[in-house]
């Protein structure tokens, strides 16, 4: 019986290591709710699914497909780098993304702000749900000065 328990425990560790990504969270500055999430896996691509409540996080996208699922509520996520696709569901989530190929927003009161699409193209956008917003982020004066 004890050997079966140890075997099952070891098997669960192996399965969880293969199916999920390990992340570390760092607290930032003044806002104790703000976190930077860094993956311990350096792979590019794949997918990331988030279903948190009340999180403020900055996440490196690394050319992944990102889904904020229907359980997610009142989060603020900032994705740096390039995301292949971004699907936002749930309630009252605010998402900032640097570069993205396609955006799908559904749920209630979700807002997505993107800087640019991949390869300089505008991302493909699909909006559903109630009170959802998808907008291109305006450049700040500092960004305009840097480009000149």
Look up residue 132 and give its two tokens. Answer: 């959802």
Phi, psi of 112 (to 5 degrees): -125, 130
Question: What pLDDT, in 10s, does the model give residues 22-68?
Answer: 333 333 344 444 554 544 444 788 999 999 999 999 999 999 999 99
Confidence of residue 12 (pLDDT cuts 50, 70, 90): very low
The mean pLDDT of the chain is 78
Rounded to whole angstroms, how far apart are CA atoms 28 and 34? 6
What is the Rg, in whole angstroms, of the alpha carbon atoms belonging to the chain? Answer: 18
Q: Which helix (H) or strand (E) holds 102?
A: strand 94-105
pTM for this prediction? 0.69
pLDDT(134) > 60: yes
């Amino acid at each position: 019986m004890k050997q079966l328990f140890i075997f099952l425990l070891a098997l669960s560790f192996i399965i969880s290591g293969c199916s999920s990504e390990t992340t570390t969270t760092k607290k930032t500055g003044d806002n104790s709710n703000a976190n930077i999430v860094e993956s311990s896996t350096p792979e590019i691509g794949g997918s990331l699914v988030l279903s948190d409540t009340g999180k403020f996080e900055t996440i490196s996208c690394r050319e992944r497909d990102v889904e904020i699922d229907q359980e997610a509520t009142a989060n603020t996520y900032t994705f740096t780098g390039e995301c292949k696709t971004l699907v936002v569901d749930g309630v009252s989530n605010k998402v900032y993304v640097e570069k993205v190929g396609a955006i799908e927003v559904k749920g209630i009161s979700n807002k997505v702000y993107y800087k640019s699409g991949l390869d300089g193209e505008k991302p493909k956008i699909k909006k559903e749900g109630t009170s959802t917003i998808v907008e291109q982020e305006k450049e700040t004066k500092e960004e305009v000065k840097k480009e000149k």
